[in-house]
């Protein structure tokens, strides 16, 4: 066993199950997170167009911020000087920061991956930086999030086995270094209560996923697990199979965070396969492009001309401010005109759609009806999406 990672102030309690679907509570120093839970993404310390109070009112209990972006601007040390990420954002609930690894690989114009770390060029000003596992932990500890993620290498969808094996080897080596630095920082400095989650890689190779899960658990007891390297270009059947493989391989008593997944149908299918925490930029990104989710029609592009005189809400069953106050005709006008009010209103709806879907999943798991309910929900959603005119 490796060095034990401190978990004071954190716990996870399972409160119900229906098949592999789980309902629980992830307790943090900044409050409880009832699971399943969708975490809105505040990449640069903000959920785009919304205030923290609005995000709370939509049912979100935990949000995500990004290490790469906050490191580059405004700088993690400035955030610390201004009271830490919670005070800086005016968000009093739990926060998770991802390691920045995905952005280093996908956004940096030039990067050089080596065993020591990743050298990359800023997408903002071209400056060059080195992210090592130790540095990534130091930056996240300085930012002060409740949950911080280990540095990992995420191979793209469709990567060959040799590439994935190398990424697994490097991810495990980096995790050992992240773990050691996390523990030593806790001994050296007065820092906020935090926990470190490992990230499991392995792409869609079942044996590599199982080997990584086994090796990571062999390093000690972890307060939670990140599942990375999915929804990066692989086929959906491979994604579902991989989650089923991991469901049996991970301990029941820790939350499972499926990274970067948050479309409604994907969320439900992932909950059914044992996942607890989710994040995705889709709700806010789709809103900026005039796209919203509807139980009756699936995903709809409100810029389409057929909504010009449509006086119905985006979703008749939705209780959000947008659906209670505005119709599709007006929302279409805002989207076509690229007005920021349209971005805000559709962000409100999309986030509420996901948080309420997660909340109902939790309720259904607890009363033992999740399997039947989710199958019926997905059948209606998929059917509506297929019938929606091409946009």
Catalytic residue annotation: 98, 279
Q: Cβ atoms within 10 A of the Cβ of 377, count?
A: 19
Task: Return the percent helix, strand and coil in the chain, to nearest 5.
Answer: 45, 20, 35
| Residue 138 vs residues 38, 73, 132, 236: alpha-carbon distances, Å | 26, 16, 10, 35
Largest alpha-carbon pair distance within the chain? Answer: 64
What distance in Å separates the CA atoms of residue 245 and residue 142, rounded to the nearest whole number? 35
Separation between Cα atoms, residue 358 and residue 340, nearest integer Å = 27
Residue 383 DSSP symbol: H
Minimal CA–CA distance to 381: which of 263, 218, 226, 270? Answer: 263
3-state DSSP of 178-246 = HHHHHHHHHHHCCCCCCEEECEECCCCCHHHHHHHHHHHHCCCCCCCEEECCCCCCCCHHHHHHHHHHH
Distances (CA, A) of 32 to 10, 92, 93, 184: 9, 12, 8, 27
Identify the CA nearest to 360 among candidates 289, 242, 271. Answer: 271
Distance CA 225, CA 257 (A): 6
Q: Specify whether the CB–CB gap between 105 and 119 falls below 8 A.
A: no
The CB density around residue 255, as the number of other CB atoms within 10 Å, is 25
Tokens standing for 166? 């190398």
Query: DSSP secondary-structure letter at 319?
Result: -
DSSP-based three-state secondary structure for 135? helix
Q: Is the dihedral of CA 273, 373, 284, 48 positive or negative?
A: negative
């Amino acid at each position: 066993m490796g060095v034990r990672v401190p978990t004071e102030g954190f716990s996870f309690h399972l409160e119900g199950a229906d098949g592999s679907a789980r309902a629980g509570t992830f307790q943090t120093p900044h409050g409880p997170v009832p699971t399943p839970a969708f975490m809105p993404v505040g990449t640069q310390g903000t959920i785009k167009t919304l205030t923290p109070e609005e995000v709370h009112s939509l049912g979100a209990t935990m949000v995500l911020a990004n290490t790469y972006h906050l490191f580059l601007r405004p700088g993690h040390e400035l955030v610390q000087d201004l009271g830490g990420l919670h005070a800086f954002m005016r968000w009093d609930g739990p926060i998770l920061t991802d390691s920045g690894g995905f952005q280093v690989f996908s956004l940096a114009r030039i990067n050089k991956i080596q065993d020591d770390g990743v050298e990359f060029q800023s997408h903002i000003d071209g400056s060059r930086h080195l992210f090592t596992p130790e540095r990534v932990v130091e930056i996240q500890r300085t930012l002060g999030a409740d949950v911080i993620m280990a540095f990992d290498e995420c191979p793209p969808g469709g990567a060959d086995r040799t590439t994935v094996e190398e990424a697994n080897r490097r991810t495990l080596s980096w995790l050992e270094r992240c773990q050691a630095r996390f523990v030593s920082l806790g001994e050296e400095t007065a820092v906020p209560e935090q926990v470190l989650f490992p990230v499991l890689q392995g792409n869609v190779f079942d044996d590599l996923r199982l080997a990584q899960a086994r090796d990571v658990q062999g390093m000690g007891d972890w307060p939670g697990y990140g599942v990375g390297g999915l929804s990066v270009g692989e086929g959906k059947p491979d994604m579902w199979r991989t989650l089923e493989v991991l469901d049996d391989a991970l301990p029941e008593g820790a939350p499972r965070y499926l990274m970067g997944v948050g479309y409604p149908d994907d969320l439900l299918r992932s909950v059914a396969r044992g996942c607890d925490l989710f994040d995705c930029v889709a709700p806010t990104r789709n809103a900026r492009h005039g796209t919203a989710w509807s139980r009756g029609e699936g995903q709809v592009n409100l810029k389409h001309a057929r909504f010009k005189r449509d006086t119905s809400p985006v979703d008749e069953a939705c209780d959000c401010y947008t659906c209670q106050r505005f119709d599709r005709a007006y929302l279409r006008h805002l989207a076509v005109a690229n007005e920021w009010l349209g971005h805000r209103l559709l962000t409100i709806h999309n986030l509420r759609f996901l948080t309420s879907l997660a909340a109902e999943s939790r309720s259904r798991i607890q009363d033992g009806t999740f399997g039947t309910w989710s199958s019926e929900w997905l059948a209606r959603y998929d059917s509506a999406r297929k019938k929606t005119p091409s946009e």
